[in-house]
Structure 1
Amino acid sequence: MWRGSPYSYAHLERLLQNHFSAPRRLFQLHALLLTSGALSASHAATTAAFPYNCLIHAHLRLPATSPTSLCAPLRLFSAMLAAGARPNGHTFPSLLRSASASGPATTALHAQCLRRGLTADRFVACSLLSSYGRALPHDACKVFEEMGTPDLASANAMLDVLCTAGDLPSATEFFQRMAERDVVSWTTLVSGLSRNGCHQDAVEAFRGLLADNNNNNNTRLALGEATLVSVLSACASLDGAEGLAAGTSIHAFVVRHGVHLTAFLGTALIDMYGKYGKLGCCKAAFQLVREKEVCTWNALLSALANHGKEAEALVSFNMMIVGGFSPNQITFLALLTGCARAGLVQVGLYWFEAMVAEYRVAPTMAHYGCVVNLLGRNGRFMDAVKTIERMPFVPDASVWGALLGACKLHGNVELVAQIGRKLVDLGPHQSDWYVTIRNIYLEDGNWHAATRMGEVMHEAGIKKTAGQSSVVFHSIAIP
């Protein structure tokens, strides 16, 4: 069957593509290739690398939870060399992706590329940069310098390496020195700045992109979804009215230029308005998204749950289920948050149980924190403590902090001491919780305990975070 004809190998590629997400079927196809002799040493000389390339790529497309998704490609490569098949420019990008978390594996594959004269290949070069960038950013810089005359794709890959490594000064300088830029270049810079907390700089970079577009009519860039999503994410993370003003201007830009509101762009827009409590704008943006995804519903649910519209969040959740969408961890986090804020104990506990039993969604630390907050706010401290004790992992400061907030609300001073000891054991990373404990003691008139907590803070080197306030007069206009 597999004797090297283009027809048979076209069938092979189609079969592998159809079974990327089914590990068992993929292994069956692999076994068929082995037993038919298509991967034998004698056959490899005539079929070259094609079947191996298909298998390597197929294994990388397996679900991330599959134990073979990353190690199998390297084993296939070893078998490929043993069979005498010659790797080509289609072989190494997939291999480098599988080795991206391992510096030694990337170095070994780089040596293979050099030996076979493939480092000049555009796709191989970009893959080398990305692979080194995840494990050895400094070596990625060396690879880029050795390219001589790198093309735009390679320059974009190097820019992404610098942003991923958090070296924003170098990334910005590199971007300014790029002889040519495209929408990928701008998007990489904007998203890199936003991911590393430089949200104002990300918005300014986006404005630079628009200004560059207006000044260069001959090379006008078509802004893609990724660019707009990145800058809206930066707007959502800014403080005060400045972020809302920038986000609203970008929304106006989207409307004015007739940009299609995809599920992911709509999600970013809903999330941005939700962060500033503009629920009317959230709902309007949600209605404009024609092909909604789970993330779109999650953004709306989170906005409603976090801004006093818990009943609406529950109604929207039911509409989401009726619409055939499967809730995920973020969905249930928004739902439990709304139940805790509204004091809907039984409803919240029901959905927490259904989350695991019916929807097979594994709860995280944040979900347990919501349940503790839900019980604690309603004075059910014993149930809250039992929930913490039943957690499958060690509770962190956020969980104990949720219980502490409930203690402050109900004046449960007896439980505060126990929580204080737990927080001290976790270390001095959450200074605000220590201050809250001291204030609870002071309000209760327990000066001795308050003084002792102050001494504990001093011994641990904890300083109270200074209060700050600011007024923003700056306005951001997006043309």
Structure 2
Amino acid sequence: MASTTHFTTSTTIHNPSLPLPSTAHHGTHHLLSADRAALLIDKAKSVNQLLQIHAAILRHGLEQHPILNFKLQRSFSSLGRLDYSRSLFDRTHNPNVFSWTAIIHGYALHGRHQEAVVLYFQMLSNGVEPNAFTFSSILKACPPELGKALHSQVLKFGLDSDVYVRTALLDVYARGGDVVSACQLFNTMREKSVVSITAMITCYAKHGDLGEARVLFDGMEKRDVVCWNVMIDGYTQHGRPNESLDLFRQMLSVKVRPNEVTMISVLSACAQLGALELGRWLHSYIKNNGIQVNVHIGTALVDMYCKCGSLDDARVVFDGMINKDVVAWNSMIMGYAMHGFSQSALVLFSKMCAMGFSPTDITFIGVLNACSRAGLVTEGWTLFHSMKEQYGIEPKIEHYGCMVDLLGRAGQLVEAFELVKTMAIEPDHVLWSSLLSACRLHGNVTLGENIAEFLVSSGLADSGTFVLLSNIYAAVGNWKGVAKVRTMMKDSGVQKEPGCSSIEVNNKVHEFLSGDLKHPKCKDIYAMLEEMNGWLKAHGYTPQTDTVLHNIGDSEKEHALGVHSEKLAIAFGLISTQPGTAIKIVKNLRVCTDCHTATKLISKITGRKIVVRDRNRFHHFVDGSCSCGDYW
């Protein structure tokens, strides 16, 4: 058999309506076999190569060969030229199941699901019966609802026992959140492939059943990068970042090479923990292992650095990103807002708009938060009104929440309350809690009581609701009110979320609860705490005992304040790091006013920068001052 490895004839098809290459013989003395043509199609790396091969196929009279047509259609489609693929299909006389499947696969592959389904039913109407590859092609890419509808067709044609079809169906139900149906399919599969097990792990992990997902994962003999990613991302998405990072370390130890998806998940886990040192190591790993810093990785790095307290690093990554999209701009704007650098956030917003990017609803959450952090009421209203008037974006509950927070912090409680009452959307408990927080801040007991009673009666109250109301009562010395709130909490079965602070030292995250005695260096931590208390008193610090929500003596209140989780974390940071090193802490709740005052003084006494990320924002304590300007 003569072989031809290069073809000099090149014919370009500009669109499906133009004629395909001529079948005229060009006098070649070499005959091209179907087997040789099929091999060349499989090896083709570009559209131009495929066009040359196609021209040769036409010259040798093989244009109606079903396998070659199938391969050409599939190859053109996989190289992004669905138009060429469709042109071939439309010119095929009496296409068989392979040709139909190739074009259906092409449309499904490129997300044109409705057209793929239309073609499928056209195939049926032409009397062509689908095969297993037809179903596995269309099911892999189509939306869950369409996939479920096609399950009946699978059963009709007796293809439900095919391992590839069942795996594709399992993936459909997993993506659609139908855990029961996915389990039934999985449990009745005679042969379970890596793909099917990964699909089942995905089903469990996106719906929070990480225990079942991990059992399947641990039981796999061979694990590819996809199943590692699913498990790692499951832990990240469900707020279990430590387990996500532990699994990532295991992945590296067994020499599985992480990819872009892996890195985005573990960077998100670092962001949740505020683990800056580990985040920097991951950034170095990305650079040193040839993982491209595209817009997705770059945005994840910006988000990680912002949430880990290093705006400078975030901005360096942001400025170095090529082809930034609006998501990347949003991450940097949100970072500035989170850290209280409101003007920087607004300047960046203006620059983004000037460069032709259209802001999204997320963008406005960022800039409205920035206004709230700095009390920029006029600017906030202007931006809020521009959403619909200028950009056609209907405000969501989050945007109303930002405005209520902005007005409430600024002391405009009446305006905030009016906005809540006149909203086009039903206010949620987060928005009401924001208004309740403003009542605590400005001592409006009457409005606070009314809001709290409404939340309790409507079943929207959570632990934060009761704590805020307790704070309001305690601030005016109403201990009967505090006791009443405690009774309400007990009757409602709601427990106060314990304060927890974490600090990263030498790539390890250490967590502390209030009054914690479990740390191995507990004795040294409390010795430093005593030393800190001595420094504070020498500088005129007086514990703010009015913030303690217990009707106990002043000495007991002072002790309760002195062992707050962030103070324990600071003490550990002081004994575990070199003098002058910045201390970075993450807290799950809002920093109390006493800890805020104490941390300002500690930053001045020790000459240390202390960065605290609480539930709402970042506080940068430097030389006795805080970046929030005591407005938080």
Give the TM-score category using the shorter length.
0.7 to 0.9
The structural deviation recorded for 1:107 is 4.6
Q: Report the equivalent of 1:346.
A: 378
The aligned amino acid for 1:178 is: M
Match of 2:246 among 197, 201, 204: 204
Match of 1:182 among 206, 224, 231: 224
Identify if the C-alpha distance between structure 1 residues 472 and 95 changes in structure 2 by more than 3 Å, giving closer, same or farther. Answer: closer
Q: Is contact 1:74–1:95 with CA below 8 Å preserved after alignment?
A: no
The answer as to whether partners of 2:109 and 2:141 remain within 8 angstroms in 1 is no
Q: Displacement of 1:292 after TM fit? A: 1.1
1:94 aligns with 2:138: yes
Distance of 1:222 and 1:161 partners within structure 2: 24
TM-score by length of 1: 0.78
Q: In 2, Cα distance between the equivalents of 1:279 and 1:391? A: 35
The equivalent of 2:448 in structure 1 is: 416
Task: Provide closer, same or farther for how the CA distance between residues 175 and 474 of structure 1 changes in structure 2, counting only shifts above 3 A.
Answer: farther
Q: Does residue 140 in structure 1 map to residue 182 in structure 2?
A: yes
Distance 1:358 1:85, change over 3 A: farther
Counterpart residue number, 1:111: 155
**1:19-41 deviations in whole A, cap 9, x for unaligned?**
99xxxxxxxx9xxx9xx9x9xxx
Does residue 128 of the first structure (1) align with residue 179 of the second (2)? Answer: no
Deviates further, 130-139 or 93-102: 93-102
CA contact (8 A) 2:233 2:265 kept: yes
Q: Secondary structure at the match of 2:134?
A: coil
| Structure-to-structure mapping, 1:54-453, within 5 angstroms | 57=108, 61=112, 80-88=123-131, 89-95=133-139, 98=142, 100-101=144-145, 105=149, 107-112=151-156, 115-116=158-159, 119-121=162-164, 124-133=165-174, 134-144=176-186, 146-213=188-255, 221-238=256-273, 243-427=275-459, 429-453=461-485
CA offsets per residue over residues 437-456 of structure 1, 9 Å max, x none?
A: 12212322445544443443
The structure-2 alpha-carbon separation of the partners of 1:207 and 1:112, relative to structure 1 and needing over 3 Å to count, comes to farther
State which drifts further: 334-343 or 408-417: 408-417
Cα deviation, residue 272, structure 1: 1.1
Gaps of 5+ in 1: 21-28, 63-68, 214-220
RMSD between aligned residues: 3.9
CA distance in 1, matches of 2:496, 2:192: 51
Letter of the aligned partner of 2:233 in structure 1?
A: S
Cα deviation 1:253-281 (Å, max 9, x = unaligned) = 12333432111111111111111221111
8 Å contact from structure 2 (residues 318, 332) kept in 1: yes
> Residues 150 and 105 (structure 1 numbering): CA distance in 2 closer, same or farther, change over 3 Å?
same
- For the structure 1 residues 380 and 471, does the alpha-carbon distance in structure 2 shift closer, same or farther, using more than 3 Å as the test? closer
Larger of the two Rg values belongs to structure: 2
CA positional deviation for 1:330 = 1.2
Distance 1:433 1:54 in 2: 53
Q: Is the 8 A contact 1:48 1:86 kept in 2?
A: no
Structure 2 Cα separation of the partners of residues 95 and 128 of structure 1: 7
Contact 1:103 1:135 in 2 (8 A): no
Query: 3-state SS of the aligned residue for 1:181?
Result: coil
Distance 1:403 1:325 in 2: 33
- Do the aligned partners of 1:73 and 1:95 also contact (CA within 8 Å) in 2? no
Distance 2:351 2:418 in 1: 33
Task: Indicate the larger mover: 86-95 or 100-109.
Answer: 100-109
TM-score, with structure 2 as normaliser: 0.60
For 2:530, the equivalent position in structure 1 comes to: none
Q: Confirm or deny: 8 A CA contact 1:44 1:83 kept in the other structure.
A: no
Equivalent AA in structure 2 for residue 100 of structure 1: P
Question: What amino acid does structure 2 have at the position aligned with 1:61?
Answer: R
Amino acid at match of 1:347: E
Q: CA deviation digits over 1:277-319, x for unaligned, max 9?
A: 2111111121222221111111111111011211111111111
Alpha-carbon distance between aligned partners in 1 of 2:208 and 2:495, rounded to the nearest angstrom? 28
Pick the structure with more strand per residue.
2
SS in 2 for 1:299: helix
Q: Across the two proteins, how many residue pairs are aligned to each other?
A: 436
Closer, same or farther: CA 179–445 of 1 in aligned 2, 3 Å = closer
Q: Which amino acid aligns with 1:129?
A: L
Instruction: Summarize the Cα distance change of 1:337–1:55 in structure 2 as closer, same or farther, 3 Å threshold.
Output: same
Change (3 A) 1:302 1:19: farther
What is the identity, as a one-letter code, of the residue corresponding to 1:464? K
Identity of paired residues, percent?
Answer: 32
CA distance in 1, matches of 2:101, 2:137: 14
Q: CA deviation at 1:145?
A: 5.2
Deviation of 1:103 (Å)? 9.4
The alpha carbon displacement at 1:101 in A equals: 4.8
1:81 Cα deviation after fit: 3.7
Query: What is the distance in 2 between the residues matched to 1:155 and 1:305?
Result: 42
- Structure showing the higher helix proportion among its residues: 1
C-alpha distance in 1 between matches for 2:177 and 2:467? 40
The alpha carbon displacement at 1:249 in A equals 1.6
Take 2:322 and 2:107, find their aligned partners in 1: how far apart are those partners?
37
- The C-alpha deviation readout for 1:324-377, integer Å capped at 9, x for no partner, is 222111111011000011111111111111112211223221111001111122
Q: Mean alpha-carbon deviation: is it higher for 460-469 or for 365-374? A: 460-469
Please give the alpha-carbon distance, in whole angstroms, between the structure 2 residues aligned to 1:46 and 1:280: 58
Structure 2 unaligned spans of 5+ = 1-15, 18-62, 510-632
Kept in 1: contact 2:271–2:304 (CA 8 A): yes
CA distance, structure 1, for counterparts of residue 458 and residue 127 of structure 2: 56
* C-alpha deviation, 1:164, in angstroms: 2.7
2:152 corresponds to which letter in structure 1?
A: A
1:354, 1:296 → 2: CA distance?
Answer: 22
The code of the aligned residue for 1:53 comes to: I
- Partner SS, residue 358 of structure 1: helix
* 1:116 to 1:433, Cα distance in 2 relative to 1, 3 A: closer
Greater relative CO (CA pairs within 8 A, separation 6+): 1
Whole-angstrom CA distance in 1 between matches of 2:384 and 2:501: 38
Residue 93 of structure 1 and its aligned partner are, at CA, apart by 4.1
1:154 positional shift:
3.4
Contact 1:397 1:426 in 2 (8 A): no
Distance verdict in 2 for CA 1:422–1:148, change over 3 Å: same
**Aligned-partner Cα distance in 2 for 1:388–1:18:** 52
The answer to whether the 8 Å contact 2:135/2:154 transfers is no
